[in-house]
Chains A and B, each alone.
Chain A
Amino acid sequence: MNRDIRITLFTVFALALCILLQSTLLNRIAIRGVRPDLALIVLIFVSMRRGSMVGQVSGFAAGIFEDLMNVSPLGFHSLLRTLIGYLYGIFAGNVFIDPFLMPMVLTVIATILKGLLAGIISAIFNIASSGFITFTGRLWIEVAYNGVLAPFLFALLGLFRIFKQADKEAT
């Protein structure tokens, strides 16, 4: 099996696992009802390591899974995660990722981007989402939460050989 396909399948599995955790166990560590988005951090990590193709396809598949188990309309999370996976994949191999600062910066930007994109999609498609109606406190709690967890999750994911940095041409 092609290596990229194997990585994509593994990533989709990891993302699905994170989404399940977010809907169950992570409620116990929610701050003012806001849970960290582990799936987003994993998606950033994989996209930055393996490029746009793996990022967008796994983001799309995980997004569909998330849409199926939530009240969100089908296509909402798949569109969000596809775009984020693609955008971060563009920078694969071109950005030096140190163990601490860059994971935080990348994750903080991605969370704000997710909030912004979610707001735009909700406005255009007239979707009543109750979470961050952008620029509200909930968004900033998630930004901080994801930012704090990102270095630890990046370090953990770095232990998996399957996510080894892609060659420049592969990205």
Chain B
Amino acid sequence: MPGLFEGFVARHRKGVTLAALIIVSLAFLLVSNRAVVIKPKEVGLSFVGFFQKGFTGFFKWFGDTAGSIRQLNAAREELDAARAKVQEMDRVTRDIVELRRQNAMLRKQLDFSQTLPPDRIACEVIARDSDNLFSTITINKGSRQGVRPGMPVVAYQGDMEGLVGKVFSVGPGASEVLPLYDPQCLVSARLDSTRDEGLVKGEGKDHGTVLLQYVKKTAKDAIQYGDLVVTSGLGGVYPKGINLGRVRDIRALAYETSLEIEVEPIINFDRLEYVFLIDAESALGASGTPGAAGTRGAQGASAQ
């Protein structure tokens, strides 16, 4: 019997090795992925659903292309209207600059000491995911420098602070950051102008938008294109008031009870070189309330 087995292995060396490697890989996947689907019916559904999604996406692409041509004509007309508005905006901008100058002067006079930002750890981006299937960002600080999983990550671009994501896993000298656009990244958010709350979810496109979901349909008329979306501070992961992005599109789907809002992130992830980790715990420890920590963060940011 053992001879028979050895003979089989010798004859099918490549096939046996392949089977062994696949089994080892599957075992690793089962152990390392806690969200694994093990029910046969659900596995079948996932398998078929994958192809269904593919076909739907393929035909949607054709539909979107035709739609884009129509939108192009509409955009031309809007451009003329927008040019007129720009002239008006120029005048408003000049007023804002003057108001900012006055605001800064008044803050200084009031000795606004609590506007200092919470403790931050400056880090350099040293690598990204090697494959295009996942989207982590690797930074050069780890547990030795006080980095902990779940720490919010921000960056400054232009004159604005924006949320990059959160620390996902930590090594002794390096850490991985889960960016805002990753589908696993969920951030409780609110519209800065209307104060409506929702949940920002990544769409897996590092050049595209993220999705603000669960905003009530009744808020549709109050929301404007370009409105700022900030973190709401709920959930305790991200301090309140960090800029996420600006509203780019609003969709009110008939079969949904809430709006789907496309948000263009403040951060251009391609140009990311340095980021800052917010030590929310020490900020909370110092102030005692999460709201205070968040507000300080936001004020610190706006003061940049």
Please measure, in the bound complex, the distance between the C-alpha atom of A42 and the C-alpha atom of B127, giving whole angstroms. Answer: 21
Interface segment among A99-107, A135-143, A151-159, A161-169: the answer is A135-143
Choose the segment among B92-100, B179-187, B294-302 that binds chain A (4+ C-beta atoms closer than 8 Å). Answer: B179-187
Q: In the complex, what residues of A have CB within 8 A of residue B129's CB?
A: 23, 70-71
Contact A131 B138 (CB under 8 A): no
Q: Is the CB–CB distance between A32 and B207 below 8 Å?
A: yes
Chain B: number of interface residues, binned into ranges: 35 or more
Cα A124 to Cα B128 with chains together (Å): 26
Residues of A within 8 A of B18 (CB): 52, 56, 82, 86
Chain A positions within 8 Å of B226 at CB level: none
What is the CB-to-nearest-CB distance from A61 to chain B, in angstroms, rounded to a whole number?
10
Chain A CB within 8 A of B37 CB:
yes
**Whole-angstrom CA separation of A166 from B18 in the bound complex:** 19
Contacts known (A37-B132, A74-B28); A131 close to B204, Cβ less than 8 A: yes
B residues near A60, Cβ cutoff 8 Å: 21, 24-25
Whether B32 lies near A75 (C-beta < 8 A) is yes
Q: Closest CB of chain B to A77's CB: distance in Å?
A: 7
Residues in A53-69 with C-beta less than 8 Å from chain B: 53, 56-57, 60, 63-64, 66-67, 69
- Contact check: which of B17, B29, B130, B135 meets A69 at CB < 8 Å? B130
Whether the pair B54, A52 counts as a contact (CB closer than 8 A) is: no
Interface size class, chain A: 35 or more
| Residue contact B130 to A125, C-beta cutoff 8 Å | no
Choice from A32, A77, A82, A119 contacting B50 with Cβ under 8 Å: A119
Q: Which of A57, A74, A120 contacts B21 (CB 8 A)?
A: A57
Instruction: Evaluate contact between A66 and B33: CB separation under 8 angstroms.
Output: no
Instruction: Determine whether B178 belongs to the interface, using a CB cutoff of 8 Å to chain A.
Output: yes
A76, B29: Cβ atoms closer than 8 Å: yes
Tell me if B269 counts as interface (CB < 8 A to partner A).
yes
Indicate whether B270 reaches chain A with its CB closer than 8 angstroms: yes
Q: Is the CB of A124 within 8 A of B43?
A: yes
**B72-115 Cβ-contact flags toward A at 8 Å (1 or 0):** 00000000000000000000000000000000000000000000
| B37 contacts A131, C-beta separation under 8 Å | no
B41 on the A face (CB < 8 A): no
Q: Which residues of B contact A129 (CB under 8 A)?
A: 133-134, 183, 204
Contacts of B35 on A, CB cut-off 8 Å? 125-127
- Is residue A94 contacting chain B, with contact meaning CB distance below 8 A? no
Q: Is the CB of B138 within 8 A of A23?
A: yes
Which A residues lie within 8 Å of B28 (CB)? Answer: 64, 67, 73-75, 78
Could you give 10 example pairs across A and B, Cβ below 8 Å?
Answer: A20-B130, A22-B131, A53-B13, A53-B14, A79-B25, A86-B18, A123-B46, A130-B204, A130-B205, A130-B206
Binding site for A on B (CB under 8 A): 13-14, 17-18, 21-22, 24-33, 35-37, 43, 46-47, 49-50, 53-54, 57-58, 61, 126-136, 138, 168-169, 176, 178, 181-184, 202, 204-207, 269-270
A-to-B contact residues, CB < 8 Å: 19-20, 22-24, 27, 30, 32-35, 37, 39, 51-53, 56-57, 60, 63-64, 66-67, 69-79, 82-83, 86, 89, 118-136, 138, 142
